[in-house]
Structure 1
Amino acid sequence: MNNKLQYTEAGKFEETRFEKIHNAVFDNSDVASLAVAEEIAELIKSKQAANEPCVLGLATGSSPINVYEELVRMHEEEGLSFKNVITFNLDEYYPMAKDNTQSYWYFMHDHLFNHVDILPENINIPDGELKPEEVHQFCIDYELKIKEAGGLDFQLLGIGRTGHIGFNEPGSHFNSGTRNITLDHITRIDAATAFLGIEHVPRVAITMGIGTIRKAKRIVLLAWGINKASVIKETIEGEITSEVPATYLQTHNNVTFVLDEGASSDLTRVRTPWLVKNCIWTDELTLKAVVWLSSKLEKSVLKLTDKDYNFHGMSSLLVEQGSAYQLNINMFNKLQHTITGWPGGKPNADDTNRPERNTPARKRVIIFSPHPDDDVISMGGTFDRLVEQGHEVHVAYQTSGNIAVSDEEALKFAEVSLDLNGGDSRAAQIIKDLRSKKGYDVDTEAVRKLKGLIRRKESVAGTRYVGIPDEQVHFLDLPFYETGRVKKNKLSKKDVDIMCDMINKVKPHQIYAAGDLADPHGTHKVCLDALFLSLAELKKETYMDDCWVWLYRGAWHEWDIHDIEMAVPMSPDQVLKKKQAIFYHQSQKDGVMFQGDDSREFWMRVEDRNKETAKKYHSLGMADYAAFEAFKRYHF
């Protein structure tokens, strides 16, 4: 099987002098997952035709879920059989009971094995229930079992932000075999979401080694999202090093990295394509290149010279534009025109070069907030400006956010309720439920209701502070979220119908929504998908002809400067007011459950991010503002 022929039709691949591993970039992870599942299915069928076993190395985590879903669909609808398949999983936490919902044994059966006709005796997963003295021999036997099966025909991988494959953390040896290993702190942070806190994440795992993985005849590594962009660039373009174990795959002769646009975004051919090939200089690419050059040379846009462009791979752009002088002016104006203190449009003003229309003067606006604090965290200053300038602003909280309220916080409120209501039986039952909760127990319905209520009341306090009437605050409680666990249900028609009803009720001129897909537990992406599906259903409605959608980003990442289409400046006073609005979400302060790899609280992160955006604009030659909130328009 020649990896150079894989995925070249559906996925984009352009080999460059920077890249040392074959890779294919897809528009999104759904399409990419279908392509990978198809390759696996074809391998299984070819082995069946030859009357041979098909030996698969399998991975866990969020990356391969859609691959497994497609394989299950092929089994159920197309008759794909797994009777000749032998599987070896990469890793397992240790210690870890099989029936624990966080175990990889549970994951694999839940997503694949329970739904196909694989023989139970052909399933091999590292055993997290071994006694400590049994682990060493188990690892030796696991290696022998792979060898006796004929070796791995195909190995599916994900990649961690430390560059680990399997649980081969930085420092792992090139020829390492199956063994137990201490997990890197970053790996444990990334797993903390699923475990409801890093304190619950095991410190040790059993993993196949680098040497074991490299013996596979074919390797496909999956990486989705902007969070993986940095490590993907290091792995594909960097030197081989034990500090980034995935770089060892550069020595394999049949490996493909399958990426979505987010994961590929730091590759040289994606971020700075003019350094590797002749470019078609679209307006978007021209702005991207000029902003990059200005930042790299630490010069304002208007100070860039012909020599600067020629020495940094942009001579063809200069030929098209005629001179740096005119190009600089054009790009300076383009950046300047993104800045506006009137996010709803400035009435009675020429809007030719403004991000928003000047009519109607008073717009109906919906701010969709995935969790009950994303509105003020991500766009609190713009929110305040829209209200201040007289627009009819509605806030729609898409999920209850109950899972992000700690048990301690809920217990505090339940105990207050018990004292206030003279032994209220509902409060007493909630206290009993919380005190008897163990490990990864799912909250009872009453506990979830209380946690959702805590976040709801915090939200209303925040919106009142900004000046929104209570009747313009909406709690959608989309059903996909209400599982009581980190793992959510798939979007349903009911979710989309709720979104459609909300939009249809307001008939907005503007919609603001979270376009930040770096959210570590995926709720932002699902909420954005729900919006896109509802817009597709409603786009024929007459009022939608006059509706513009603006995407903001959350607490993890900001839009790149060249992507920003509306930048709303904030004064120092507005920065302080935004901070105060965030503080109303008290349950999310001081040890928030899902903060990712950044130990700062959300208000600190977003304040620094807004200030950094203003600094970047200033360094390009724009006015010196205290902070900016940034938006990109979505055309539907």
Structure 2
Amino acid sequence: MPAERPLRVADASVIVHPDAESASKDAADRIERIVADAVAARGKAVLGMATGATPEKVYGLLAARVAAGALSLRDATTYNLDEYYPIQPLDPLSYRSYMHRHLFGRVDLAANRAHILDGTVPEHAAAEHAAQFDRWIEADGGLDLQLLGIGRNGHIGFNEPSDLPVDEFAALPTRLVDLHPITVADAVREFGSPEAVIPRALTMGVRAILAARSIIMLATGAKKAPIVAQALKGPITAAVPASVLRTVADRVVWILDEPAAADLG
């Protein structure tokens, strides 16, 4: 099997792996090291978690390591990127359910240390709930790590493409948002039809993501190749939200498989 290959694409650090399995293992290895270093330094690790198909292998690896006694998350606190709105936590399509299936229900993370935005909060209280989420992260000392995936339109979390100036986009807080048509189209595979997709979500803001001490962007599969190339080689613009990660490039690593890196040259 060919080895991983580091790339320097513009101002970004990029590691390309031969396949999704080895890319996922790299991400899991890095998360394990970050947890160990953070716990050693300050007695806890604060992790930003992602959902979707891409991180499932990572969570499976982390759960296996916890089960084997090679890793513990008992000193970790987690904050998830997003949640559909409105949705019940026990709905199998909720990200609370996703995280329980893929990670929380399989590791030694205390339930009261796993934070996910609440898809049941009344709409009149949504802005305050989102602001409180940001305050919780800040009170925990910020994120030691943010694990990210990239949407086909470049979104990070549900921070969708925008016409805002980059500095204003980078300062966006956690908030209630409308989903982009591409995001809705991609969610049909879970919801069954465009009409069934919940068209809004609560999302962690760009500000908290960019403030993380380490950021792992994991992208796999040929469908992600065009947007990965745009984010890494095109202009830094809120129209391609992931491109804004290049403003904090010293804290970001892009972990790709060969198909996702295909358009980087």
TM-score by length of 2: 0.94
Give the letter for the 2:8 counterpart: E
SS of 1:70's equivalent?
Answer: helix
Q: In structure 1, how many angstroms separate the alpha carbons of the residues matched to 2:147 and 2:158?
A: 14
Match of 2:224 among 203, 209, 228: 228
1:15 aligns with 2:39: no
User: Does 2:92 match 1:101?
Assistant: yes
Residues 38, 144 of structure 2: 8 Å contact kept: no
AA in 1 matched with 2:112 = E
Shift of 1:81: 1.2
Q: Does the 8 Å contact 2:7/2:16 carry over to 1?
A: no
Aligned to 1:22, what secondary structure does the other structure show?
strand
Deviation string, structure 1 residues 555-611 (Cα, Å, up to 9, x no partner): xxxxxxxxxxxxxxxxxxxxxxxxxxxxxxxxxxxxxxxxxxxxxxxxxxxxxxxxx
Structure 1 Cα separation of the partners of residues 43 and 6 of structure 2: 32
**Equivalent AA in structure 1 for residue 240 of structure 2:** V
Aligned partner of 1:123 in structure 2 is 114
Give the secondary-structure state (helix, strand or coil) at the position aligned to 2:8. coil
Counterpart residue identity of residue 142, structure 1: F
Alignment partners' CA distance in 1, 2:160 and 2:11: 21
Matched residue, 2:255: 258
| Letter paired with 1:130 | V
Return the offset for 1:78: 3.0
The 5 Å alignment of 1:51-450 reads 52-171=43-162, 173-252=169-248, 253-268=250-265
Q: Distance in 2 between matches of 1:167 and 1:49?
A: 32
Q: Please, which runs of 5 or more residues in structure 2 have no aligned partner?
A: none
- Listed one character per residue, the Cα deviations across residues 166-190 of structure 1 (whole Å, up to 9, x for unaligned) are 0000116121010010000110000
Given the superposition, is the C-alpha separation of residues 209 and 51 from structure 1 closer, same or farther in structure 2, using an over 3 Å criterion?
closer
Counterpart code for 2:173:
G
Match of 1:361 in 2: none
Deviation at 1:226, TM superposition (A): 0.9
Output the CA distance in 2 between the equivalents of 1:11 and 1:92: 33
Determine if contact 2:147/2:215 at 8 Å carries over to the other structure: yes
2:14 equivalent to 1:28: no
What is the distance in 2 between the residues matched to 1:91 and 1:155? 13
The whole-number CA distance in structure 1 between the counterparts of 2:86 and 2:16 is 37
Q: Work out whether residues 174 and 248 of structure 1, in 8 Å CA contact, stay in contact via their aligned partners in 2.
A: yes
Deviations 1:508-547 (A, max 9, x none): xxxxxxxxxxxxxxxxxxxxxxxxxxxxxxxxxxxxxxxx
Per-residue Cα deviation, 1:140-196 (whole angstroms, up to 9, x for no partner)? 100000000010000000000111000000116121010010000110000101111
3-state SS, counterpart of residue 107 of structure 1: helix
| 2: CA distance, partners of 1:185 / 1:92 | 17
Cα displacement string for residues 413-472 of structure 1 (whole angstroms, at most 9, x for unaligned residues) = xxxxxxxxxxxxxxxxxxxxxxxxxxxxxxxxxxxxxxxxxxxxxxxxxxxxxxxxxxxx
Alpha-carbon shift at residue 11 of structure 1 (Å)? 2.3
Instruction: Return the alpha-carbon distance in structure 1 between the equivalents of residues 52 and 153 of structure 2.
Output: 15
* Alpha-carbon separation, structure 2, partners of 1:21 and 1:92: 29
Alignment partner of 1:162: what SS? coil
Secondary structure in structure 1 of the residue aligned to 2:6:
coil
Q: Partners of 1:209 and 1:129 in 2: how far apart?
A: 19
3-state DSSP class of the match of 1:48? helix
SS at match of 1:193: helix
Q: d(CA) in 2 for partners of 1:10 and 1:59?
A: 26
Q: Is the 8 A contact 2:27 2:218 kept in 1?
A: no
Greater RCO, CA 8 A, separation 6+:
2
Match of 1:418 in 2: none
Residue type at the aligned position of 2:188? A
Structure 1 distance, partners of 2:238, 2:39, is 38
Native 8 Å contact 1:20 1:237 kept in 2: no
Q: Deviations over 1:85-104 (max 9, x none)?
A: 00000000000111111100
SS in 1 for 2:65: helix
Within 1, Cα distance between the matches of 2:3 and 2:138?
Answer: 34
* 8 Å contact from structure 1 (residues 63, 158) kept in 2: yes
Shift of 1:51: 5.2
Name the aligned partner's letter for residue 40 of structure 2.
Answer: A
Structure 1 position 54, deviation (Å):
0.1
**Cα-Cα RMSD:** 1.3
Deviations 1:254-277 (A, max 9, x none): 101111111100113xxxxxxxxx
Cα gap change, 1:241 to 1:51, in 2 (>3 Å)? closer
Tell me the CA shift for residue 67 of structure 1: 0.4
Equivalent residue letter for 2:78: T
C-alpha deviation, 1:10, in angstroms: 5.1
Aligned residues of 2:217 and 2:253 also touching (Cα < 8 A): yes
- The number of residue pairs the alignment matches comes to 258
Normalised to the residue count of structure 1, the TM-score between the two structures is 0.40
* AA matched with 2:253: T
What code does the residue aligned with 2:99 have?
M
* Mapping for residues 583-602 of structure 1, pairs under 5 Å: none
